[in-house]
Amino acid sequence: MDTNLHIDEDFSEDKDHWTRLLKKEKAALAYFFRKYYSLLFNYGLKICRDERLVEDTIQDVFVKIWNTRNLPEVTNPKSYVLIIFKNALLDKLKEAKKLGSGTFTFDHDTESIQEKIIEDESMRAVRTQIDIGLDLLPARQREILYLRFYNDLDYQEIADVLGINYQSVRNSIHESMKKLRKTIVLGSIILVQYLF
Amino acid sequence: MNPETYSLEDYLTDQSFQKWAKGTASIAEHNFWNDFYENHPEKHELIRQAKVSVLSLSRTESQVDQATIELSWKTVEARIDESSKKPIQLRRWMAYAAMIVAVASALFFFKSEKVTYVRYSAGYGQTSKVNLSDGTLITLNANSSVKVAAQWEDGPREVWLESGEAFFEVSKTKDKQPFYVYSDGVQVKVLGTEFNVNRRSDDTRVMLREGKVQVSHVNVHTTLVPGEMAIVNPRSAHINVTSVDVSKYDSWLRNKIIFENTSLKEVSKIIEAHYGVTTYLDEALMNREISGELPNGNLELLLNAIEIIHDLNITYKGDRVTIHEKISQSN
């Protein structure tokens, strides 16, 4: 039952636009830019907190896609754009020496901008059990959960973006769920105590 | 693998199950899991647990606002046009014209008394942030809007809360220009501070987190210290001030929704204001209470939690939420 039917309209719309992009239609590029900007921006902020750098990289990526002479006919434009973006961002970080050996530290604890403002340390204690559980996972497992549950990428897309195989993604999720078992069940039910 | 022998982790790892739990499954998947659930009463508890777990893990990340994306796209477009080295003069001009149109349509400008105003709003189930030119940050809660002059001259800085709820972090300016927030006839005067204004109910509620504000209505003035909330009814000349737990009133900034002995009647009002749905609640259930903390912006999760805690039957279809006592059949 774990088959991925993937016949959603959204997907075929992406493929249509990719075909139009191959024919150098600028409107098709704009379509992808508007559609995936938020996804790329949020994902980028998980890798590095420099909003300016993330935005610049998004722009570079789209200029680069436009200027690429022989764009491949990809099956899934979303993963393609994500991969290019991630590589571009990591390259930039390496260049800026913000990243030591080129290792990728996936940061779950990106405080959203709202949270950044709150400097009160005691507020941190308010974070839900789930967040604490997530923090205890290795970065790679956290990244996979993030891509699945925050960004709604399917296992194949995650595999493409991370350059690993489908089964590894599935195994990672299964393992994370095992580790999170206590906290997610507690977090989702018991945290909401009740009084009649 | 066979769902009949699934452990909790197995359900949580099954993509099709995840989609069913989130309500994004295809029709075939949807039918499969509904049938499976129906036919396996002994699995009900496990499946519900798994379903709530999927929902509590899932979040919708904040979307970058349209105007920002459009401006960013114009930069990309300009760079593309530059590199293709076609006749420039007209194209440049067109790019700028397009930029103006894009911003205008995204922000909605309107004019009165020679001042141009910009309206910022957040839709149902989302919050959004507005950076003003003086460095002030406004965070809008779901279904809320503010109006601001497009350009501030030397005079006072003024913001109108037109609907809903907003949190203000006002920055101090060199010449200590005063900052005012107006909400339904209530005026809040500020000098560099953090506070929340809520006009969802009939009254306006001003909660101060840091600094100092003066709240005025008609001829009544009162000054708040941090941790105090002023409640102003537009039809009375009286301002009520109470001490409150700040973290309860600004929890929405951290994408949390906190209930503390909150009656289901109040909960349904909050749901309606935040998500733009209509709720139907059994009279007999109105005084049931819930306490606890949940991620904001996830109506399904909230409904699921209420359903489980009070053992109710909640349906959510279209923009209608119905909350009923459960009619026991299988038990």
- Which chain B residue shows the shortest CA-CA distance from A184? B53
Nearest in space to B117 (alpha carbons), one of B146, B95, B150: B150
Does the pTM surpass 0.90? The reply is: no
Query: What is the C-alpha separation between B75 and B2, in angstroms, rounded?
Result: 52
Contact A126 B288 (CB under 8 A): no
Query: What is the C-alpha separation between A121 and B102, in angstroms, rounded?
Result: 41
Contact B13 A174 (CB under 8 A): yes
Contact A173 B288 (CB under 8 A): no
Structure confidence at residue A184 (pLDDT) = 62
Q: Is A176 exposed, middle or buried (0-12, 13-18, 19+ CB in 10 A)?
A: buried
Convert chain B into a string of H (helix), E (strand) and C (coil). Answer: CCHHHCCHHHHHHCHHHHHHHHCCCCHHHHHHHHHHHHHCHHHHHHHHHHHHHHHHHCCCCCCCCHHHHHHHHHHHHHHHHHHHCCCCHHHHHHHHHHHHHHHHHHHCEEEECCEEEEEEEECCCCCEEEECCCCCEEEECCCEEEEEECCCCCCCEEEEEEECEEEEECCCCCCCCCEEEEECCEEEEECCCEEEEECCCCCEEEEEEECCEEEEECCEEEEECCCEEEEECCCCCCEEEEECCHHHHCHHHHCEEEEEEEEHHHHHHHHHHHHCCEEEECHHHCCCEEEEEEECCCHHHHHHHHHHHHCEEEEEECCEEEEEECCCCCC
Structure confidence at residue B119 (pLDDT) = 82
Q: Are B208 and B224 in contact (CB under 8 A)?
A: yes
Contact B305 A113 (CB under 8 A): no
* Collapsed DSSP state (helix, strand, coil) of residue A118: coil
Structure confidence at residue A1 (pLDDT) = 43
Contact A174 B80 (CB under 8 A): no
Structure confidence at residue B14 (pLDDT) = 94
Query: What is the C-alpha separation between A41 and B320, in angstroms, rounded?
Result: 33
Query: What is the C-alpha separation between A159 and A183, in angstroms, rounded?
Result: 26
List pLDDT tens digits, range B120-166: 888 777 788 888 888 888 998 888 888 888 777 767 788 999 888 99
- Which chain B residue shows the shortest CA-CA distance from A149? B58
Rounded to the nearest 10°, the torsion over CA A16, A21, A24, A26 is 100
Q: Who's near B30: CB < 8 A, 6+ residues apart?
A: B20
Structure confidence at residue A125 (pLDDT) = 34
State whether residue B71 sits within 8 Å of chain A by CB.
Answer: no
What count of other Cβ atoms lies within 10 Å of the Cβ of residue A25? 13
Residue A126 has its nearest CB partner, among B12, B256, B288, at B256
**Which residue ranges of chain A lie beneath pLDDT 70?**
1-10, 97-132, 182-196
Structure confidence at residue B60 (pLDDT) = 65
* Collapsed DSSP state (helix, strand, coil) of residue B319: coil
Structure tokens at B75: 């930069």
- Bridge partners (DSSP) listed for residue B157: B179
Structure confidence at residue B331 (pLDDT) = 41
| Best of A66, A123, A186, A192 to mutate (most B CBs within 10 Å, chain B) | A192
Residue B49 has its nearest CB partner, among A41, A67, A185, at A185
Structure confidence at residue A106 (pLDDT) = 57
Contact A150 B1 (CB under 8 A): no
List pLDDT tens digits, range A5-44: 444 556 778 888 999 999 999 999 999 999 999 999 988 9
Contact B293 A191 (CB under 8 A): yes
Q: Which value, in Å, is the radius of gyration of the alpha carbons in chain B?
A: 25
Structure confidence at residue A107 (pLDDT) = 54
| Alpha carbon A108 to its chain's center | 11
CA distance A101 to chain B (A): 30
Contact B57 A145 (CB under 8 A): yes
Structure confidence at residue A27 (pLDDT) = 92
List of chain A residues whose C-beta atoms are within 8 Å of the C-beta of residue B62: 38, 42, 112
Q: Are A36 and A81 in contact (CB under 8 A)?
A: yes
**Which residue ranges of chain B lie beneath pLDDT 50?**
85-113, 330-331
Structure tokens at B150: 């497009």
Contact B292 A130 (CB under 8 A): no
Model ipTM over 0.90: no
Cα dihedral across residues B324, B59, A152, B5: positive or negative: negative
Residue A188 has its nearest CB partner, among B10, B18, B52, at B52
CB pairs under 8 A between A and B: 157
- Residue carrying structure tokens 């996936």: A106
Q: Are B107 and B237 in contact (CB under 8 A)?
A: no
Q: How far apart are the first and last CA of chain B?
A: 29
